[in-house]
Amino acid sequence: MKYRFIDMLPKSYSKTWVLLFFLCVIYQTFAQNSKLTLEEVVQMAKNQSISARQAATTKETKYWEYRTFQSNYKPQLTLNGNLPAFTRSFREVLQPDGTIQFQPVRNNNSALNLSLSQSIAATGGSIYATSQLQRFDDFDRKNTLYNGTPFAVGYLQPLLRFNSFKWDKKIEPLKFNESQQAYLETLELISLRASAIFFDLLLAQVNLQIAETNLTSTQNILKVANEKYELGKNSRNEILQLQLELLKGQKAVGVSKRDLEIASLNLKAYIGLQTEGKIELQAPAPPATLVLSSEKAIQEAFANRSDAIAFGRRTLEAERAVAKAKGDNGLNATLTATLGFSNRGQTVPELYRRPQDQQTIQLELDIPILDWGRSKSRTKTAQAQQQLTQYTVEQDKQNFRQEIYTQVTLFEMLRDQLELTLKADSIASEKYKIAQERYVLGNLSITDLSISFTEKDQAKRDYIYALRDYWGAYYKLRQLTLYDFENNISLTPAGKTKQ
């Protein structure tokens, strides 16, 4: 006969409360045993951290700024006017004898204008089509008149002037691409920061494990030492030394628990982890050997980084400044030409009956005669600034290459250092085990045991430090190149397509 555990409980126990109890136990079990790897922590930081959301918002802002720029090169349809435009006042009227009289005026002069325009980037001009309607109501004389342009087309062309449309069409796409790459670099900076916080918590976790293990070992050794002391095989000084070590071990456990709690809170806050359970980190395994090439890293950096795009953008902006200085200093002229139909009448339909031709052509001139060298000074200043920009860009390119070369060299050094610290950790652990056995057998002094004890702990910490430096250098290299050297793939969408 089979019985369920819940049926074996006393009748006074509610089955619902028992089920809730077990659910709480299961929740606490999973909440307190959350294990995270370095890759998971980095991915969580890139997906849900506040820094990641800020970067995404900045990226979206740059996108809409670029859309605003694109809209300047598309047809613009606008409707404007004055409706109504009522006036009631006194106005001066010049009389035939030269005197002035103030006459009452009460009218409405409304107007509507519908226009369609298109900018021409190549010339800096614009072509437009328009339709206008004007109504005038004279309330004193009870008279209504209409005036309008049923249809007209025109062209406006600046002559010998700076063409902002042409330069913006060259520079704005670069700025947009630069912002997209800057977003990816920000994500890699988040990865770098997340890895540093990960290893802060991992080190606190290892320190607590070391402190607890050392405390247990000290307690066991003190027990053996007391037995040997009763047999007269060691001195009272050794007992006191071990008791002091025991107190230090208890203090180290308390300090390590405090540091672990602080590091855990820092990690949760940064990666946006909404859980009250404890976090247990899994130490990353020693990475596979990565063969890096400085030339490859520099090549990928120039292909992917926002700074590489900024080099060209800054050069173009300097050229634009020179062109603007020259365009604004000489002869400035604007040619306007309009061809259409216009008419007047007492009703709207009359405007469209036999409209008369309308032509307009106008040339505006602005010629500086005497400016005391102002135009020349502006041009020379822009040219000097352009030369300075070229020198600065060349220097920045050299620094750009040198930074990547240095990072690759540092990464290779840290990779070798990691291998050495791993071997040192293994040797120190084995040496401590031997020292413990020798002390129990009476072949080792308490001083030598303490030295071995300290070396073991330091070797373990040095290995965690080496892991942190290695992965920090790796994520820094990813940020400098926007390239994944583990999978040999670019981190940019364009780069992935090429692969």
Those residues with Cβ within 8 angstroms of residue 55's Cβ, 6 or more apart along the chain or in another chain: 183, 186, 187, 190
180 pLDDT band (50/70/90 cuts)?
very high
Length of the chain in residues, anyone? 499
- For the segment 312-339, the average pLDDT, to the nearest whole number, is 90
Find tokens 């400085």 and name the residue. 294
Q: Average per-residue pLDDT in the chain?
A: 86
- For the segment 137-153, the average pLDDT, to the nearest whole number, is 89
8, pLDDT greater than 70: no
Percentage of residues in the chain having pLDDT higher than 90: 49
- For the segment 275-300, the average pLDDT, to the nearest whole number, is 84
315 pLDDT band (50/70/90 cuts)?
very high
181 pLDDT band (50/70/90 cuts)?
very high
Q: Which of 2-6, 247-251, 329-333, 436-440 has the highest mean pLDDT?
A: 247-251
What is the chain's alpha carbon radius of gyration, rounded to the nearest angstrom?
A: 41
3-state secondary structure of 117: strand
Calpha distance 379→118 (Å, rounded): 31
Is 129 within 8 Å of 153 (Cβ atoms)?
A: yes
For 222-249, letters b (16+ CB in 10 Å) and e give: beebeebbeeeebeeebbebbeebbeeb
Calpha distance 128→133 (Å, rounded): 17
Tell me 78's DSSP state.
E
Element (H, E) at 344: strand 332-345
173, pLDDT greater than 50: yes
> What pLDDT score does 328 carry?
83
Calpha distance 402→298 (Å, rounded): 9
Kindly list the distances between the CA atom of residue 303 and the CA atoms of 153, 175, 270, 306, 395, in Å, as whole numbers in the listed order.
Answer: 47, 15, 31, 9, 18
Alpha helices for 84-163 (secondary structure H): none
> What pLDDT score does 27 carry?
42
335 pLDDT band (50/70/90 cuts)?
very high
Higher pLDDT, 493 or 53: 53
CB neighbours of residue 301 within 10 Å:
21
22 pLDDT band (50/70/90 cuts)?
very low
Which contacts (CB < 8 Å, 24+ apart) does range 214-223 have? 214/249, 214/252, 214/453, 214/457, 215/246, 215/249, 215/250, 215/252, 215/253, 217/436, 217/453, 218/242, 218/245, 218/246, 218/249, 219/246, 221/436, 221/439, 221/440, 221/449, 222/246
- pTM above the 0.85 mark? no
138, pLDDT greater than 50: yes
367 pLDDT band (50/70/90 cuts)?
confident
496 pLDDT band (50/70/90 cuts)?
low
3-state secondary structure of 274: coil
Is 115 within 8 Å of 130 (Cβ atoms)?
A: yes
- For the segment 156-168, the average pLDDT, to the nearest whole number, is 90
440, pLDDT greater than 80: no
Least confident of 68-82, 95-109, 472-486: 95-109
> What pLDDT score does 265 carry?
92
- For the segment 435-446, the average pLDDT, to the nearest whole number, is 75
> What pLDDT score does 17 carry?
46
3-state secondary structure of 161: coil
